[in-house]
């Protein structure tokens, strides 16, 4: 089984490649940077995902069974907004389009930012809590909007080519021993995603589960840890921050404001890691390296 992974030498892409290689899958690791792996079945290739020729060339050469599209600019704050939008939309279009034409199913990184809570000028109160896959998209920034467009592209390719596409909407990804979310003052940081987060190892598990699942077309999955990273009741945090709760609020204790119930139901996936243990964990990282 051959899997083509884009963004293969990025923060979470390295963990995905490492897991797939350890499972014995043949991995084509694609990134704009040079990289290497200690695993024998990983082939590294440099490519510009906004170059349609690069992407089609790789898909035609390796004829992957699956594509994991994890390559993108991860937020709207480090580049000009138009560049973020163009890079992410063209990368998603080229990868999804090429995958569809060679008959490869896709798992790709959408984002919780598609809802419009992170990076908004003034974060709106959610329509309901916990937020799930059916909550409306209302992004105000080029990054979140690029993910909305990417999911529309996924719908197009599914209609045309009949492949399956899983759009993973991760919460704020954290790494064992390096939980940056805990460095923030709760009332200064909670408006973007309501104190939600997810461990990179749970993201990898969700990607593998989505690859192995028998989906029917395009399915989005919100992926988050089971709890918030503050350790207080989530409804209390939301009410303290916004001064009110949505009329429809069904939160118990410190459970996440982002619901992963759909992934638990359709993918048989559930989060395994919490900040309480993971913030100080000493875990060996992936044997996949950016150069």
Residue-wise pLDDT tens digits, 17-63: 999 999 999 999 999 999 999 998 899 999 999 999 999 999 999 99
Q: Are strands 35-37 and 288-290 parallel, antiparallel or unpaired?
A: antiparallel
Say if strands 2-6 and 66-69 run parallel, antiparallel, or are unpaired: parallel
Strands (E), 147-244: 165-170, 173-174, 198-199, 218-223
State the average pLDDT over residues 111-136.
96
Residue 250 zone, left/alpha/beta (φ > 0; ψ -120 to 50; rest): beta
Task: Say if residue 191's pLDDT is above 70.
Answer: no
Task: Note the pLDDT tens digit of each residue in 141-166.
Answer: 999 999 999 999 999 999 999 999 99
Confidence at 189, pLDDT banded by 50, 70, 90:
low
Which 3 state secondary structure label does DSSP give 37? strand
Question: What percent of the chain is predicted at pLDDT more than 90?
Answer: 94
pLDDT at 46: 97
What Rg, from alpha-carbon coordinates, does the chain have?
18
Q: What value does the mean pLDDT take over residues 78-88?
A: 97
Tokens 């243990």 belong to residue: 277
Q: Does the pLDDT value for residue 181 go beyond 70? A: yes
pTM above 0.85, yes or no: yes
What is the pLDDT at residue 230? 94
For residue 232, give both structure tokens.
């207080």
Helix (H, G, I), strand (E, B) or coil at 288: strand
Domains in the chain (CATH in brackets) are 2-282 (3.40.50.720)
């Amino acid at each position: 089984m051959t899997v083509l992974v884009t963004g293969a030498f990025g923060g979470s892409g390295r963990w995905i490649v490492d897991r797939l290689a350890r499972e014995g899958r043949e991995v084509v690791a694609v990134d704009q940077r040079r990289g290497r792996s200690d695993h024998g079945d990983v082939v590294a290739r440099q490519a510009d995902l906004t170059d349609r020729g690069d992407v089609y060339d790789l898909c035609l050469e390796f004829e992957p069974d699956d594509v994991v599209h994890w390559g993108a600019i991860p937020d709207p704050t480090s580049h000009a907004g138009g560049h973020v939008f163009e890079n992410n939309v063209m990368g998603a279009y080229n990868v999804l389009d090429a995958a569809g034409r060679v008959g490869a199913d896709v798992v790709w990184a959408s984002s919780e930012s598609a809802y419009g809570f992170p990076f908004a000028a003034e974060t709106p109160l959610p329509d309901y809590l916990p937020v799930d896959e059916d909550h409306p998209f209302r992004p105000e920034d080029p990054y979140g909007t690029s993910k909305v467009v990417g999911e529309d592209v996924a719908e197009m390719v599914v209609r045309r080519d009949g492949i399956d596409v899983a759009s993973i909407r991760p919460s704020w990804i954290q790494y064992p021993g390096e939980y940056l979310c805990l460095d923030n003052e709760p009332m200064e940081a909670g408006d973007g995603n309501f104190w939600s987060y997810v461990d990179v190892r749970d993201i990898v598990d969700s990607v593998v589960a989505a690859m192995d699942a028998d989906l029917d077309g395009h399915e989005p999955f919100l992926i988050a840890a089971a709890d918030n990273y503050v350790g207080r009741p989530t409804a209390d945090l939301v009410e303290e921050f916004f001064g009110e709760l949505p009329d429809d609020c069904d939160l118990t204790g410190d459970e996440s404001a982002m619901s992963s119930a759909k992934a638990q139901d359709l993918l048989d996936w559930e989060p395994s890691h919490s900040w309480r243990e993971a913030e100080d964990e000493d875990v060996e990282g992936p044997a996949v390296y950016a150069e």
